[in-house]
Structures are given as C-alpha cells and as structure tokens.
Amino acid sequence: MDTQHIDTAISDLQASKDAWASLDIQAKLSLLRELRTKAGVHARRWVEAAVKAKGLSMGSPLAGEEWIAGPYGFIEAINALETTLERIASGADVLDGIKVRTRPEGQVVLEVLPLTTSDKLLFSGSSAQVWMQPGVTIESLRDRTAAFYSEEDPIGSVCLVLGAGNVTSIPPLDVLFKLFNEGEVALLKMNPVNEYLGEIFESIFDDFIGAGYVRFVYGGGDVGEYLTAHDGVDTIHITGSAQTYNAIRYGSGEAGEANRRSDTPTNTKPISAELGGVSPTIVVPGDWSRADLRFQAENVVAQKMNNSGFNCVATQILILPESWDLTDAFLDEIRTLLGGLGDRDAYYPGVADRCHAIEAGSGNVETFGSETKRFLVTGLDATATEDAAFRTEYFAPALSVVLLSGPDVPAFVATATRFANEVLAGTLGASIVVHPKTEKAYPAAIDGMVADLRYGGIGVNTWSASVYLSPRCPWGAFPGNTPSDIGSGVGVVHNTLMLSDTQKAVARGPFAPSHRTLAKGEVHLAPKPVFFITNKQMHNIGERLVDYAILGKTADMMKVVSSAIRG
C-alpha cells in the first residue's frame, strides 16, 4: 500500500489546524456560505450519483430519499449553523428566540422546531425538542453553549472522519460538525460503498481543501487501519458498527476481545462514534379507525424500508400490545404494504448473509418480493432476551414483531419501555405511535415513556430519523456508553446550536393527515409525510426542498407545499 498521498494529506492538515482553530468567525462564515452555494451547484449531480448506485431512477418517487437525506439535510445544517455563527460574531445570544423550560423533575428542555414562519408551514403539526442532561440548569445552559468559541487561544486538531456508506449526507455533515462545532480540521476517508461521491464532495468542499482545512482519502480496511494508527491523526469520528469501533480501540481477533474485556486499549486517541443498534417502534393501544391502521402501517413500513432498510435507526422491532383488539388488523395492513412494494437493489455489502441469518433465525418468517426479499418476522418470544433479533442489528429489509402484555395503557407502556431499555441492543433511536386521544387520556404514562426511554433520538408519531434531519438537534446515542461497552456510540454530531451536555432529542409528528385531524384532537395542515415510501411526490418534494434551502425564496417554498399536497 502506497501511503505517501495519505501522509501528505495529514501533513497538510497538521500545518493548517491551528490556523483554522483561530480563524476569525467572519472568515469562517464566508467559507460556510460558499459551501452552501457549491452544495447547491452540485446537488443534482450528488443525487444522480446516489440514485444510480442504488438502482433507482430520477423519475421514481424513491429518488426523494436521496434528495432529502442527501443535499437537503446538508444544506439545512449549513443554514442553521450560519445563524448560530452570526449570533456568536455579533455577541448575541445563540439561543435567542428559542423557548427554554424546565420539566417538573428539573430537566431543561429547548423547543427547537418550529422557529420560523416557514417552519410552521413546511413542518405543520411537527415539533422538535432537545432535552439536556440532568444537572444542567437554565442558568448554566448558556455558559457552555458554543464552548469552543469561548476559548481564548484554541488549539487545533486533526480529526479522521470515517465516513458512512449508506446515507449520503452523513460524511459531509460529520465534517461540518468537526470543523465548526469543535474547531478541528478534517480528513474524510470515504466509505468504499459510496466513494463514488468523493469527487462531488471534493468539489463542494473545494475552498476548504484549498485552504488546507479538509482532505479526502480513499481505500478499504487497510487504509482505515493505517489512518487510525497514524501519529498525525489527533482524534477519530466513526459512523459504523461496534465491531469496527472495537477493532480501532482494542485491536481485532481474540487479542482485541481480551483487550476490550480488560479495557486495555491499543489506540488511546479520543474517538466519537455513531454505531446504530436495534431500534424499536412502540405502538400504544387505542381506538383506531381503519384509516388510522393503514396510515400508521405506512409509517412503520417507511421506518423499516426507507433506503432498503440500510439505516442505523431503521425500525427493527415493532412492539405491539398482545391484548389489543387491533393488533392482527394492524399486522395485516403491514403485510399488504410489504407485498405491494417494488423490489429494490440490496446495494449494501453483506446483506445476503444477514438475510440468510434472518431466515434461519427464530420466529415465523414471512417473505415478500421476488428478486429482493423483504421479511416480516412474527412469533418472537419476548422472554428470549438473547435472541439475535433483539441483540443484533439487521441492517436489512426485515421487520420483527414482539407482543407484550399489559392490562391497560399505563401497564403496557411501562412494560414496553422496560423491554426497549433492557433487552434491545443500542440506544440510538426509538419511535412511538400513539393516538392523540389516548395520549390525552393517559398524559402521565405517555410523558413518562418519552422521559424514561434511554435513546438519543425519539420520534412520537414520526420516525426517530426526523431528529437526524432537524439540524438543531444533537444526533447520537443516549449518554452513558463506555469504550469497553460502546453500544450505539459516544458523543453527538449536528447540534448546530452547539449545546453541551445534551441527553436526547424528541421529534413529534401528526398522527393523521390534515383532512382527518379534527376528530382526533389535532389541528395542522400536514398531508402525507414526505418520508413515507408510498408518497408519490417524494422526489419532487425533495428537489424543491433543496431549492428552498439554498435560496429561501417564497416561490420555492410554495412549490414544496404544492407537491406535498399531491403526495
């Protein structure tokens, strides 16, 4: 392996790291704005490349996944970051205009969506909150906001970013976070799965590359191993698996496992990580109509089958009430949807082996599709707590179902929360589905579930991935993991408000579309959610969201609304 180009890239970054750390905020803002411009210029190329690699077409509604989880997510983060930096530069309060409250038990919560008039229109019926860790007070909150920018003589660092291969906005968003939140220059190693985007990303980050603040490298595991051990790399950020993290931190094979068990690392560099897990969706029993069953089945199926199931918070375990009289009907709606989906390319490496393991595993395995299989697994034993379905992330188009008992809503909610926290592997994302009237009837039970779930991102009547696309929210595992028991990782990214000591983010969406809301106690204008894979306008909505994110024109926003209504 020729390492000269790698060594040169790291040397360049080492030479520039202190200059970046101490660079004037106005100069950073100038670079950030140019980054947005170039992201807009190359957005279509970005999406076209991803669509082609994943076996889709630009005219397919599913291309919307690539618009939304690609350039849109990236540009929205730039916009939110710009606001924060402008406030820091002017000496204004970073949290100006954001409602901050204290829960009865003392936990501080920030309302971060909606904030603007356009938010209220584009995200009608939706909201997002950031919950701080216990011990943070309203008085201390601001003292540690934008902590890097309060340092008098900041010292630069070189961060190795090991890019994800599934969601295309992850690598550039991770670089953005390291640059602006933590003041580090970044060496992005593209994942072999999506290194086809490297040239496009290099064009987008061209000004940062020219100034010596960003470098790109390519290659497989041998390159990654060389980079993580390189003396010129100061810190590491990885999006991937716990196995990869452990190999970096402790080494591989039996020796590496022994090192992990004794917590004897071979690599002592600071490592932040987002590592996925087994994500649940908990369905709270209630009085649902047939239309509710269909709509929420679309919700759950989208949470699993988006991006062919290759998402770190794809719903893996659907937790249903055993005694609910609508459980069977709900599963039938899910079966109908799974059977009606078209086949998609299983583009992510290793999926065939993972699917074979699912077919050979426990439970009743139902198969859908002809060329590319989709799976529904029922009949799992909730007491078999070491079942692979509960302990191993599928990263495949497979949804498993577990039935839990409970004589009433509070009892079921308590059981489901305990199961999610204590049995399922990982703490990255969890979703809840609850009828508004049920929540109104049992407010303490539902609020307690949201508070007690130990997950970094929680979705209520929406997918927990909504947190990922809300740039002011932190994205990462629930705090408490350790290097030797890494779970879903440590640290957060995104977090454009630059908050310290966050615990979780909670996104909320509407239980039903706008034309069925009033009888359910909701008032909003939201049509079918854009992330539903049954949304026939997803590609048009996604492209128009990108247009609006770039320029902020009212005409572009109205085009988004027009497409959304037809979805």
Where residue 450 sits, what CATH number does that domain have? 3.40.309.10
Question: Is the domain of 263 the same as that of 311?
Answer: no
Q: What is the 3-state secondary structure (H, E, C) of 125-172?
A: CCEEEEEECCCCCHHHHHHHCCHHHHCCCCCCCEEEEECCCCCCCHHH
- Would 311 be classed as within a structural domain? yes
- Would 112 be classed as within a structural domain? no
Classify each residue of 130-163 as buried b or exposed e, where b means 16 or more C-beta atoms within 10 Å of its C-beta: bbbeeebeeeebeeebbeebeeeebebbbbbbbb
Show the CA angle centred on residue 435, arms to residues 438 and 282, nearest 5°: 100
CA distance 567 to 550: 23
Question: Is the domain of 40 the same as that of 5?
Answer: no
- Would 489 be classed as within a structural domain? no
- Would 346 be classed as within a structural domain? yes
CA distance 13 to 10: 5
Question: Is the domain of 342 the same as that of 461?
Answer: yes
Report residue 238 as tokens: 């990885």
CATH number at residue 165: 3.40.605.10
Question: Is the domain of 64 the same as that of 181?
Answer: no
**Residue-number span of the structural domain to which 162 is assigned:** 1-22+153-274
* The last residue of a domain, from among 242, 274, 306: 274
* The last residue of a domain, from among 244, 274, 304: 274
pLDDT value at residue 43: 99
Average pLDDT of adjacent 10-residue blocks, the chain of 567 residues: 96 99 98 99 99 98 98 99 98 97 98 95 96 97 96 96 99 99 99 98 99 98 98 98 97 97 98 98 98 98 98 98 98 98 95 95 95 94 98 97 97 99 99 98 99 99 98 99 98 99 98 83 89 97 97 91 89
Give CA 289 to chain center in angstroms. 31
Count of domains forming the chain: 3
Question: Is the domain of 28 the same as that of 18?
Answer: no
Question: Is the domain of 173 the same as that of 43?
Answer: no
Element spanning 401, H or E: strand 398-404
Question: Is the domain of 305 the same as that of 450?
Answer: yes
CA distance 175 to 427: 23
Question: Is the domain of 371 the same as that of 418?
Answer: yes
pLDDT value at residue 522: 87
Contact 70, 53 (CB under 8 A): no
DSSP single-letter state for residue 331 = H
Helix 290-305 × helix 327-340 angle, to 10°: 50
The answer for 91, left when phi > 0, alpha when psi is -120 to 50, beta otherwise, is left
* The last residue of a domain, from among 215, 240, 274: 274
Question: Is the domain of 303 the same as that of 260?
Answer: no
**511, HSE (Cβ side, Cα atoms, 13 Å):** 25
Contact 103, 109 (CB under 8 A): yes
- Would 460 be classed as within a structural domain? yes
pTM above 0.95, yes or no: yes
Question: Is the domain of 423 the same as that of 567?
Answer: no
Question: Is the domain of 75 the same as that of 214?
Answer: no
- Give the residue among 362, 425, 426 at the shortest CA–CA distance from 391: 425
- Would 130 be classed as within a structural domain? no
- Would 108 be classed as within a structural domain? no
- Would 285 be classed as within a structural domain? no
Q: Where are the alpha helices (DSSP H) in 1-152?
A: 4-21, 25-53, 63-67, 73-90, 117-122, 138-141
- The residue behind tokens 């809300």 is 470
Residue length of the chain:
567
Question: Is the domain of 324 the same as that of 384?
Answer: yes
Bridge partners, residue 359, by sequence = none
